[in-house]
Structure 1
Amino acid sequence: MDPQNGQVNTAELLIQCLENEGVRYIFGLPGEENLQVLAALESSSIQFITTRHEQGAAFMADVYGRLTGRAGVCLSTLGPGATNLMTGVADANLDGAPLVAITGQVGTDRMHIESHQYLDLVAMFGPVTKWSSQIVRPSITPELVRRAFKRAETEKPGAVHIDLPENIAAMPVTGKPLKRDTKEKTYASYHSVNEAAAVISRATNPLILVGNGAIRGHASEALTEFATQLNIPVANTFMGKGVIPYTHPLALWTVGLQQRDYISCGFDRTDLVIAVGYDLIEYSPKRWNPDGSIPIVHIGSSPAEVDSSYIPVLEVVGDIPDALTEILRRADRQGKPDPYAIGLRADIRADYEQYSQDDSFPLRPQKLIYDLRQVMGPEDIAISDVGAHKMWMARHYHCDRPNTCIISNGFAAMGIAIPGAIAAKLIYPDRKVVAVTGDGGFMMNCQELETALRVGTPFVTLIFNDGGYGLIEWKQQNQFKRSAFVHFSNPDFVKFAESMGLKGYRVEAASDLIPMLKDALAQEVPAVIDIPVDYRENLLFSQKSGDLHCAM
């Protein structure tokens, strides 16, 4: 090809388009059908991160997109490489993280017959993405890439898929990337803002429920001011942590457990829920509004989803910070916060603090997370995997800032923590990053610790070690009073870490964790801390939840 005359092959034009989109990293694996793309990357400003499994690559792109708001990019070959990619792609799509997945494919001359490793990837990725397409002619590459990124990053963000046949990748083409659009904000109507202000002013015991959409919309400052000036308590979803600082006197911390908790009493008492950036996929409204009787004001960048338990009396659709600011200007609410809500916060905080001096061993999950919070700064990042520990992270790991505790609660895929921590450390090399995982989730993508070492992303992995799939056992015990098929044995995690050139630690007393964690975070290589955990607390919490009575 002759780049000086503007002629390149399709793969080279694709990489030019990705550079134009501001892509810094592509996570993936090499394959026979993506050789042209890999060759083009050799002279690119984009860094290719070779991973050990396509699922890890997709999770890295997923968390990269969620933390930056710019689409993370992952690459696989066809067939089994593409199917391996799908779990992480689906996770990004349901969690609202912008992601562009690129797959290699057989040549177009082989698609009409049964062919080695050939699957219709456009059709396969369709149900787990916002959009899935194939580059069928070299000349359409700039349009297709621009559309992919626009679709991925437009609210509500999600995953898109581009399929590139190997013969198309090698074809000559003359073209250039399309200019990126300037995103224009859309603003809520004056009518909806005025009506919302009136409804909120009339409410006696309003409650704010804030979700991940408020983080995506950069609404933290506006939301905190809104709640403070109007004296309205705030509960956040798993994915809305840090929108309001957990130390704020009106913060009621996290809602979303599949069982009743203190915050459930707040929903029982409220006469208005102000849902701000709330995604129904995070926490079904049937859990907090089962009969649809609680009036709801929906404030979001897109209209409310349809649900029989989520029928707003009013929708304020547009830029979230602007909507909150304009409603605040018009609201006439002079009352103090409900004394019951203030008492509720005191109960929640007392429950949290009671584990600060707990010295039992194996560690209770509450104590483990309490100690983790003491070591992590306000800007540091914890990435939670999925399992019983996720429930405790959601309930007990509290945040000062948005995007400092990443929890997947849309698709909720196990194995995300270690790949996600790699992405977080690439974006924020000066922050402490901790991957919090169970022993089940750890073994699903622990191979990516080699990737972390190779690319120079030192973070700490905390393993909640109970020798089983703790969340499933918790549910089995609740439903059947017994468990089945959930137990397994583990390797020696310290030796495992050391065999990879990492630092390995094992907690043998409750007092070990904080000094070990500080030491591990100071290392120049990734570190793994094996922590025996006492999950009897799961059933004790369920019992306490079942006995919870709200004093009205």
Structure 2
Amino acid sequence: MNTAEVLVAGLEREGVEHVFGLPGEENEATMFALRDSDITFVPVRHEQGAAFMADVYGRLTGDAGVCLSTLGPGATNLLTGVADANLDKAPLVAITGQGGLESLHVESHQRLDVVDMFDPVTKWNTQISNPGIVHESVRKAFKTAEFEKPGATHLELPEDVADEECEAEPMDPRQRVRRPEPDAPSVETVRELLADAERPIVIAGNGAVRTDASDDLRAFVESYDLPVTATYMGKGAVSDDDDHSLLTLDSGEHEEASDAIESADLVITVGYDIAEHDPADWNPAGETTVVHVDSEPAEVYENYDPDVEIVSDIASAVRELDACCDEIDAEFESDWYDDLRDHILADVTPDREEGDPFTVKQVLPVLRDVMADDDVLLSDVGSHKMAIAQNFVTYEPNTCIISNGLASMGISVPGGLSADLAVDSNVVSATGDGGFMMNAAEIETATRIGCGYTILLFRDDEYGLITEEQVEHRGEHFGTELKNPDFQTFAESFGIEAYRPDDWDELETALAEAVPSDEMSLVEVVLE
């Protein structure tokens, strides 16, 4: 075999089923190795779309999504999606081609130092500079991408090395690296804090979802009768149908969760990264007693300086704390947060009149009604993301996917494709007109490979979130207005069903038809 064939054989050993990418001259050997493998190569319309597909696939499955490009502009196009995966803690392996080693010491066509470029946005990356290291490089890329905390890795394969004969054998994957059990002294300290507390509260972050700690967290909050609020990426860790849920932590439209934290005398964060939500919003003075439960130590930050850190496997730590409940006879009364929950639920299910114009907030309950508990809503970035994060009630982990580390516009349409490949349930990609047009070409990719999911397109003819922020800051806005095509005709040109409801009855009918369908569809909602 040549080096490229050994690399692809390594992907097969890792259980890779799909590679998303674009062909190029410098990755030709890899392309033909993929052709002869059991892996499905998905040719996309833009490398950024390929990286977003791998990003969402990794986040939903826990197995590294794989994206592929050639050198130069192909690699630079991958960069945003790779960075998004890294900051959102989604496992991803990027593979790029490169010119021959003999040309890399001089300025040459499309020559960039891709390994150096990817260094700030990956956990690890390398050039496969000789055939003898390809097997180790593939194994390390997947091991590093997938162990907690997961993220992105990158392999560069120069075209001459790719064609060289290779005697290396692909390495078998091993049991994934796990964090240790929690240390007894830290658990004992938290036990004492819980015994002394009167109003403790839990913040569930991305890690609570990512590490499958949801069941243990639900048992923990039930045992102690604790309120819990989630970050955008922690939605569903505890069901919003649970009386303990205060839905989403936010400082925006409804601030009840922040009010609860202000009233609390102990905050226990579970799998929380400060990149998800600035602690200054809920701990402005830095004086709140905080317990940090995560797989890595807390970032050093004056508004997030935990009193105790349990650094271990997250689910194991939560189980240990739950086991302390009977020992300290702690069960906290819920009357101090019940009213806050009632206010939040009333806010996320607003009354509307039949003639009311469409708003994202009022559309969400209609969408929720036609989605099963385990259906997946994938949000793009924009003003609709804020409404989804704050108001879309979520019942299961990993069913409301929001990019909030890098917060990249354009993720929703390509991400919907890989979500449809990753899960058996229905998928809805919610997007604004700004984010939609960035990667709308991937509708063709989705239809070509037989995907079926619903694109829910909110159209306001502007970059609405930036308009809102400019108006708030300056009383006016500039540079945010857009002109759009006829989205219904645009969607139909790809051969998919398209709806543009004019009233609430038509919207309910459109969503009820589109969401459960196995076919691709687009529902355009015109906002006023």
Name the TM tier (shorter chain): over 0.9
Query: Is the Cα–Cα contact under 8 Å of residues 296 and 312 in structure 1 kept in the other structure?
Result: yes
* Residue from 342, 348, 352 that aligns with 2:348: 352
The alpha-carbon deviation at position 211 of structure 1 amounts to: 0.3
AA aligned to 1:420 is G
Write the letter of the residue equivalent to 1:407. Answer: I
- Amino acid across the alignment from 1:461: I
What's the CA shift for 1:524? 4.3
**2:171 pairs with 1:178:** yes
Alpha-carbon distance between aligned partners in 2 of 1:43 and 1:385, rounded to the nearest angstrom: 35
Find the aligned partners of 2:333 and 2:494 in 1 and give their Cα distance: 54
SS at match of 2:401: strand
SS of match in other structure, 2:76:
helix
Report the counterpart of residue 460 of structure 1 in structure 2: 454
Provide the rounded CA distance (Å) in 1 between the counterparts of 2:399 and 2:323: 30
Q: CA deviation digits over 1:397-429, x for unaligned, max 9?
A: 11111000100000000000011110110112x
- Give CA-to-partner distance per residue, 1:453-493, whole Å, 9 cap, x none: 01111111011110000000010111111111101111000
Distance across 1 between alignment mates of 2:360 and 2:422: 29
Q: For residues 196 and 515 of structure 1, what CA distance do their matches in structure 2 show?
A: 51
Paired with 1:360 and 1:9, the residues of 2 have a C-alpha distance of 66
Corresponding residue to 2:497 among 503, 508, 511: 503
- C-alpha distance in 2, partners of 1:153/1:199? 34
The 1:333/1:273 distance shift into structure 2, 3 A limit, reads farther
Distance 2:150 2:9 in 1: 23
Give the counterpart letter for 1:351 in structure 2: D
1:528-539 matches, within 5 Å, as 528-534=522-528
For residue 413 of structure 1, the aligned residue among 408, 414, 435 is: 408
8 Å contact kept, 1:134–1:163: yes
With 507-516 and 60-69 compared, the bigger mean Cα shift is at 507-516
From 27, 36, 47, the equivalent of 2:20 is: 27
Q: 1:445 to 1:147 in 2, by over 3 A?
A: same
Contact 2:383–2:464 (Cα < 8 Å) also in 1: yes
1:355-387 Cα distance to aligned partner (Å, 9 max, x none): 3x4434430211111111111000100000000
Q: After superposition, what is the alpha-carbon deviation per residue over 1:97-154, rounded to whole angstroms, capped at 9, x for unaligned? A: 0100000000001001110001000001111111121000001001111111111111
Q: Is 2:224 the counterpart of 1:224?
A: no
- What is the aligned partner in structure 2 of residue 540 from structure 1? none
- The one-letter code matched in structure 2 to 1:497 is A
Question: Using a 3 Å threshold, how does the CA distance of structure 1 residues 309 and 397 change in structure 2: closer, same or farther?
Answer: same
User: Which is further off, 466-475 or 152-161?
Assistant: 152-161
CA distance in 2, matches of 1:182, 1:433: 30
1:188 partner SS? coil
State the match for 2:35 in structure 1.
Answer: 42
Query: What residue in structure 2 maps to residue 13 of structure 1?
Result: 6
Task: Using the TM superposition, give the Cα deviation of residue 521 of structure 1 relative to its aligned residue in structure 2, in angstroms.
Answer: 2.8
Q: What CA distance in whole angstroms lies between the structure 2 residues aligned with 1:110 and 1:204?
A: 68
1:288 matched to 2:254? The reply is no
Distance of aligned partners of 1:166 and 1:309 in 2 relative to their CA distance in 1, 3 Å threshold: same
Taking structure 1 as reference, are residues 344 and 333 closer, same or farther at Cα in structure 2, changes over 3 Å only? Answer: farther
Q: Do residues 56 (structure 1) and 49 (structure 2) align?
A: yes
Q: Which runs of 4+ in 1 moved over 4 A?
A: 257-260
Which residue pairs with 1:433 in the alignment? 427
1:525 CA drift (Å): 3.0
SS of 1:253's equivalent in the other structure is strand
Q: Which runs of 5+ in 1 are unaligned?
A: 1-7, 535-552
**Match of 1:336?**
332
TM-score of the superposition, structure 2-length normalised? 0.97
Task: State the one-letter code of the partner of 1:455.
Answer: I
Question: Which letter does structure 2 place at the counterpart of 1:95?
Answer: D
Percent identity, aligned pairs only? 46
Residue 225 of structure 1 aligns with an amino acid whose one-letter code is A
CA distance in 1, matches of 2:336, 2:281: 21
Q: Is the 8 A contact 1:258 1:287 kept in 2?
A: no
How many corresponding residue pairs?
525
Shift of 1:184: 4.8
What do residues 30-51 of structure 1 show as CA deviations (whole Å, max 9, x unaligned)?
1111000000011111110110
Cα–Cα, structure 1 residues 399 and 193, in superposed 2: closer, same or farther, change >3 Å? same
In the alignment, what sits opposite 2:470?
476
Distance 1:322 1:422 in 2: 34
Q: Distance in 2 between matches of 1:299 and 1:90?
A: 25
* Equivalent in the alignment of 1:388: 383
Residue identity matched to 2:64: A
Q: Matches of 1:531 and 1:259 in 2, distance apart?
A: 22
Contact 2:199 2:332 (C-alpha < 8 Å) held by counterparts = no
- Aligned pairs for 1:302-341 within 5 A: 302-331=296-325, 332-341=328-337
| SS of the residue 1:415 aligns to | coil
Equivalents in 2 of 1:14, 1:358: separation in Å?
59
Q: Distance in 1 between matches of 2:55 and 2:527?
A: 29
Residues 91, 152 of structure 2: 8 Å contact kept: yes
The CA deviation at 1:175 is: 1.5
Quote the residue 1:82 is aligned against. Answer: 75
Cα drift, residue 324 of structure 1? 1.2
SS at match of 1:409: coil
Cα distance in 2 between the residues matched to 1:85 and 1:361:
42
Letter in 2 for 1:424: A
CA positional deviation for 1:322 = 1.5
Structural RMSD (CA):
1.2
CA contact (8 A) 2:251 2:258 kept: no
Deviation at 1:353, TM superposition (A): 2.3
Q: Which moved more, 1:162-171 or 1:521-530?
A: 521-530
Match of 1:116 among 94, 109, 115: 109
Does the aligned pair in 2 maintain the 1:200–1:333 contact within 8 Å?
no
Q: CA deviation at 1:523?
A: 4.1
Write the distance in 1 (CA, Å) between the matches of 2:26 and 2:41.
16
- Alpha-carbon contact 1:96-1:157 (below 8 Å) kept: yes
TM-score (norm 1): 0.93
Residue 126 (structure 1) aligned with residue 122 (structure 2)? no
Distance 1:444 1:499 in 2: 17
Shift of 1:200: 1.5
Matches within 5 A, 1:135-284: 135-185=128-178, 186-257=180-251, 261-284=255-278
CA distance in 2, matches of 1:32, 1:322: 48
Which residue number corresponds to residue 544 of structure 1?
none
